[in-house]
Amino acid sequence: MGQKKYSSYAEIEHDLEILKLEKEIYYQKMKLSFDKTKESILPSQPLEGLYAIYNKVFSGTFGMILKMLIPYAVSWFINRKRGD
């Protein structure tokens, strides 16, 4: 592709505007592609579901009791004596 010869500044400005718009289109396509890739990699929906279940289970009196007992249960499980 050879060099284009311009006869006025209006032609130059017109081509520059076209290039600017093409650049913006490619940028938006790349951004959309990145967002789609990020959405496909990150598990957003399952985590939101687990968070809702967590809030439901650990709310109220039962949840308060579980929050107090879980550290003791984990500590007991880690420090339990193993039978030989």
pLDDT band at 7 (very low <50, low <70, confident <90, very high): very high
Residues 71 and 81 in one domain: yes
CA distance to 7, 19, 25, per residue, from 13 (Å): 12, 10, 18
Mean pLDDT computed over 19-32:
95
pLDDT at 43: 65
Residue type, 76: W
Residues 30 and 54 in one domain: no
Which pair of tokens denotes residue 81?
A: 């004596």
pLDDT band at 20 (very low <50, low <70, confident <90, very high): very high
Residues 31 and 54 in one domain: no
pLDDT tens digits along 33-72: 988 887 777 666 666 777 777 777 777 777 778 778 888 8
Number of structural domains in the chain: 2
pLDDT band at 9 (very low <50, low <70, confident <90, very high): very high
Domain residues for the domain of 66 are: 43-84
The one-character DSSP state at 47 is H
